[in-house]
A = this chain, B = another copy of it.
Amino acid sequence: MEKPIVGFIGLGIMGQPMASNLVKAGYRLVVFNRTREKAEAMAGELVQVASSPAEVASKCQMVITIVTDSAAVEEVIAGPQGLLGAVTPGSIIIDMSTISPAVEQQLDSELRRVSATLVDAPVSGGDIGAQQGTLAIMAGGDRDAFERSLPLFQGMGKTITYCGPVGSGQLTKLCNQILVSVNLLAVTEAVTFARKTGLNPETMIEAVKGGAAGSWQLANLGPKIARRDFAPGFMIDLMQKDLRLVLEAAGSSAVCLSAASSVHQLFNAAQAKGLGKEGTQALMQVVETGAAL
């Protein structure tokens, strides 16, 4: 089966390597980026640069978007010069941004009026996962639209999960962020306890990481916290954006999230200390001072 020409909107830290991986996988792309230079940098035999999302939609029946936030996705899809104005019946818009599940559902309704559909497919794995094509991709939407999107996902990621109707990808990503941030809080408390009671935190981590206390956060960020390396893998400012989505969705569904809410407040304290551009592990700098809820 011939590969479709794929639209790709948003060539940031995540989008650029993801788009490159699709080219490596043999796809021709039509790309759009708000800052046009980033699109021009990719232009070539297989990559054509468009002047608007609408132009992308007019040329491609499968369009991937990965932009900053809910407002940016709304602009790209439903704004002036957005995809909606030019999308053809049968098109699939695959939004890989991390945004509000409710916004995805709303945009899907609008796309359905013109016989198109939306698949929400946020990712985890960071810029390194994007570069190496090892992202986890959590997708929601029509099962059929998911199946048609699967070859594209396989060009960009490794663990690809169909999670349910539209919005389910985002909801799954939010579960991911609850786990990431609360597990990180656990690590900061354990390292603080270790240090203040006279243990060597790195020895403690080695002793416990292989058992029931083990986590990705402990194994990967624990040693950084112990040696006070706060350089960003994933920035606190970005985690806060995601935790706001968590708490917004929790509010809509009357879910009480005591720990996720606490860690959001502790990250607020970190931002107040000017740590927003540091890695999430800089949460340590709040926890060790005795901040609590």
Contact = CB atoms under 8 A, between A and B. Distances in A.
Contacts of A165: 198
Q: What does DSSP make chain A's interface, helix, strand, loop or mixed? A: helix
B196 A255 contact: yes
A203 B255 CA distance: 19
A199 B204 CA distance: 36
Contacts of A291: 256, 258
Given A185-B182, A186-B179, A211-B136, A197 B258 contact: no
Nearest to A249: B197
Interface residues of A, number: 73
Interface of A: 101, 124-126, 136, 138, 159, 161-165, 168, 171-172, 174-180, 182-183, 185-187, 189-190, 192-194, 196-200, 203-204, 206-208, 210-218, 220, 234, 246, 249-250, 253-263, 266, 287, 290-293
A183 B138 contact: no
A194 B175 contact: yes
Given A200-B164, A213-B216, A293 B258 contact: yes
